[in-house]
Amino acid sequence: MSTRTVAHRPVPPEAARDRRRAWIALLLYPVAFVLAFAVGEGLAAILGYEAGEEVAWYVPVLAGIPAVVLFVVPGLLALKYGRRAMRGGDPGGLAPVVVGAVVAVAFVGINLLGFLAQVLL
């Protein structure tokens, strides 16, 4: 029986820095959530609607698009820095990319389903 040793290449400092930046970008999701909520509700209020009130179909679109764009910014930053880390030789950059993508896609999907339920039902 033989054992095989896997040699680990050292990660370049630039790639490690980019991996850290990708993880830090994900820490911005709670802040982005609060800001997106405030923007969405604020735009709906500017359009003359209050929370819980029946609204026209275009109000969630006008208020929701800027809010969703604001929310996905941390995921886009994680994508940018995670991919840069992987190109720089740090395979650990993939994890924040996947986490950021899952959170962003889930948020957009939930909001889209809510909008479709409101319009169709």
Q: Which residues of 21-36 are buried (b: 16+ CB within 10 A; e: fewer)?
A: bbbebbeebeebbeeb
Instruction: pLDDT band for 109, please (50, 70, 90 cuts).
Output: very high
In this structure, is residue 7 part of a structural domain?
A: no
Per-residue pLDDT at 35 exceeds 90: yes
Looking at the structure of the chain, the number of domains it has is 1
Report which of residues 1 and 121 the model is more confident about.
Answer: 121
In this structure, is residue 87 part of a structural domain?
A: yes
pTM exceeds 0.85 for this model: no
In this structure, is residue 26 part of a structural domain?
A: yes
Per-residue pLDDT at 1 exceeds 70: no
In this structure, is residue 1 part of a structural domain?
A: no
Say if CB 72 and CB 107 are below 8 A apart: yes
In this structure, is residue 4 part of a structural domain?
A: no
Instruction: pLDDT band for 6, please (50, 70, 90 cuts).
Output: low
Work out the average pLDDT over 39-55. Answer: 85
Per-residue confidence (pLDDT) for residue 66, from 0 to 100: 95
Per-residue confidence (pLDDT) for residue 2, from 0 to 100: 64
